């Protein structure tokens, strides 16, 4: 079965394809080339549903949409839904990362806790199952950790080079930018959200 992923971000498409292939090889994630809705929601769930509904309506296929970001405790959960636009609407990942580090310049390591959050919405048009109404589901994955004081590693994208996930051996901690794609796809916030979504996909 084909499921369209409601994003124009090729990094997200690659990640989802790898994550889905590990548990549901019968599903084919395809890229979305249609119009993007205005993401004017104030929560991850609202924005994910906006994107998934638009993709499902445009393609007639079941649609997945991820809305995700970094939530820094000392900043009250920001950047949160504004992670991609933290330094302005240009969506400049390097500028976003630099601004966040500058804002945390004098914050001690113990207070640099943060979480990557991924909310995935699944929208299935009624036409997929004749006589049925459109179905919508929302799940969330949270990946706790803390922020480094400087970027490290060339892997991943976005805030990955400054995010140090919890649970690593003391003295051998690495940012996600230093992880392999396989390591990240097995543990990330998107992988955790997709794990919660798998039981719902059984009904497709």
* Residues taking part in catalysis: 67
Residues making up the binding site: 7-12, 67-68, 157-160, 184, 189-190
Residues making up the binding site for Mg(2+): 67
CA dist., res. 3 & res. 10, Å (int): 16
Q: 151-162 burial by CB neighbour count: b if 16+ within 10 A, else e?
A: beeebbebbbbb
DSSP 42: S
Residues 133 and 126: beta-carbon distance below 8 Å: yes
Residues making up the binding site for substrate: 7-12, 68, 157-160, 184, 189-190
The structure tokens 């890229």 sit at 31
CA dist., res. 202 & res. 135, Å (int): 14
């Amino acid at each position: 079965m084909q499921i369209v992923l409601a994003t124009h971000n090729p990094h997200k498409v690659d990640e989802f394809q790898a994550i889905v292939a590990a548990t549901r090889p019968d599903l084919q994630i395809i890229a979305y080339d249609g119009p993007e809705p205005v993401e004017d929601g104030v929560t991850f769930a609202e924005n994910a549903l906006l994107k998934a509904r638009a993709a499902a309506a445009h393609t007639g296929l079941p649609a997945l949409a991820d809305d995700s970001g970094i939530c820094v405790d000392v900043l009250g959960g920001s950047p949160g839904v504004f992670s991609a636009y933290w330094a302005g609407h240009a969506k400049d990942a390097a500028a976003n990362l630099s601004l966040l580090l500058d804002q945390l310049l004098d914050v001690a390591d113990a207070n640099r806790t943060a979480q990557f959050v991924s909310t995935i919405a699944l929208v299935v048009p009624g036409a997929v199952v004749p006589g049925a109404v459109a179905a919508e589901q929302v799940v969330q994955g949270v990946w706790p950790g803390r922020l480094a004081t400087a970027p490290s590693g060339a892997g991943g994208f976005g805030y990955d080079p400054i995010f140090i996930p919890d649970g690593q051996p003391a003295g051998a901690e690495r940012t996600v930018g230093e992880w392999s794609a396989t390591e990240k796809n097995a543990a990330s916030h998107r992988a955790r959200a997709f794990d919660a979504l798998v039981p719902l996909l059984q009904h497709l």
